[in-house]
Structure 1
Amino acid sequence: MSPRADAVRNRTKVLAAADEVFAELGTDAPTDEVARRAGVGIGTVFRHFPTKEGLLAAVFQERLRQVGSEAAAMATSEDPAEAFHELFTKLIGNSRTKQALGEALTAAGIDVDDAIAPVRDEVRGAIAILLAKAQEAGGVRGDIGVDEAIALLIGASQASAAVIDISMRARTLNVFLDGLRP
């Protein structure tokens, strides 16, 4: 039996509110703030996510799922090379929040690889298609595979999250993107 429509709606609202709250207030933000912003009771939050760690993992998965959806949509762009660079720019720009979620999961004893396992292949596949189209269009080096591109993205995201000076972040991002071009 599939979940009731209102339960699905509430889960979606809780995830969106949690993403917003954790991005704004950090992963230590109270769960009751998530409930307040979602417009549901705290019991509803815990019915869907019995632990805060489970909520954090679900937010992390949902963010990755959105990356996959965005990559898939961008693969149909008239300029897939530009779309590829745009996606990587956006993802690296959002790196601080992703890093905080990952650190919170690790601190809670949750293996990040296990947490993302349900969406890993979906995201990897969407990025692979976008990468291949960007390479065919001549905007990304042909000798980079999807696993290398993802590893580079993770490394650049971690480096960007560590740099406070915005102009330095922009400069390092440009150097990174230039390195992907043929």
Structure 2
Amino acid sequence: MTKPRAPRQDAARNREKLLTAAIDAFSQHGLDASLEAIARDAGVGIGTLYRHFPTREALAIAAYQHEVEQLCAKAQELKATLPPDEALREWMSRFVGYVAAKRGLAPILRTVLAPDADLFTDLRALIHGALGDLLHHAAQTGVIRDDIGVEDVMHAMSGVWLASAEPHWHDQAERLLDLLMDGLRYRAPGSGYTRDP
């Protein structure tokens, strides 16, 4: 006879589904996202949502934290499965998706978290660590230049973040990321991009 599924596993699975649905909903609708729709999209009742997240704010903060943690965890997976420059490029594309999701969360987060809140500081450090690791790995293998740091790339990506506010932003964002990667490869020992004589 099959043992019943452990309640703790069900709760963890429901929480994960709620966070995924919340990211989608807040990305599309911002503060106006319907909690009932989030619960429905997650395949749970509204009571289950409130047991995990008693307020809209609690759900938004948890969704934001979850999105950053997932993004940063993906860096290691990409590093292990793709060539270094491709791993970096794919992670940056996912980062743009994260920024688009965060845009919908921003009004809620601003109301409940100070700009220097520990959560923001900790998650920013996670992002910088993931990007720094990918940059270092790609530079060590010679496919990108080694004189560019995390802050340089984050500043360069600010134009990509702005693109995510426009209609049909995704195609433009991808072109901007390709342009950024061309700059990172320029003068790298193993990239084929060299300085003009």
- Bin for the TM-score computed over the shorter chain: 0.7 to 0.9
The normalised TM-score by structure 2 is 0.75
CA contact (8 A) 1:81 1:138 kept: no
CA contact (8 A) 2:27 2:103 kept: no
The normalised TM-score by structure 1 is 0.80
SS of alignment partner, residue 139 of structure 1:
coil
After superposition, where does 1:118-157 map in structure 2 within 5 Å?
118-153=122-157, 155-157=158-160
2:67 maps to 63
> Separation in 2 of the partners of 1:78 and 1:170?
18
Mean alpha-carbon deviation: is it higher for 111-120 or for 43-52? 111-120
Superposed displacement of residue 134, structure 1: 1.0
Asked if 1:111 corresponds to 2:114, the answer is yes
> Separation in 2 of the partners of 1:112 and 1:76?
34
| % identity of equivalent residues | 35
Matching residue's letter, 1:43: G
Which one of the candidate residues 98, 102, 107 is aligned to 2:106? 102
C-alpha deviations, 1:19-77, integer Å up to 9, x for none? 23223444421111111122222222122112111111111111111111111111223
1:10 maps to 14
After the TM superposition, which parts of structure 1 deviate over 6 Å for at least 4 consecutive aligned residues? none
Which one of the candidate residues 22, 25, 38 is aligned to 1:21? 25
1:164 maps to 167
Q: Mark the structure with the bigger radius of gyration.
A: 2
> Separation in 1 of the partners of 2:98 and 2:124?
18
> Separation in 2 of the partners of 1:16 and 1:39?
11
Matching residue's letter, 1:111: A
Q: Which protein, 1 or 2, shows the higher relative CO under an 8 Å CA cutoff with sep ≥ 6?
A: 1
Mean alpha-carbon deviation: is it higher for 53-62 or for 17-26? 17-26
Report the RMSD for the aligned CA atoms in angstroms.
2.6
After superposition, where does 1:78-89 map in structure 2 within 5 Å?
78-89=82-93
Which one of the candidate residues 39, 43, 46 is aligned to 2:43? 39
> Separation in 2 of the partners of 1:5 and 1:90?
28
2:79 maps to 75
Superposed displacement of residue 136, structure 1: 1.5
> Separation in 1 of the partners of 2:19 and 2:183?
36
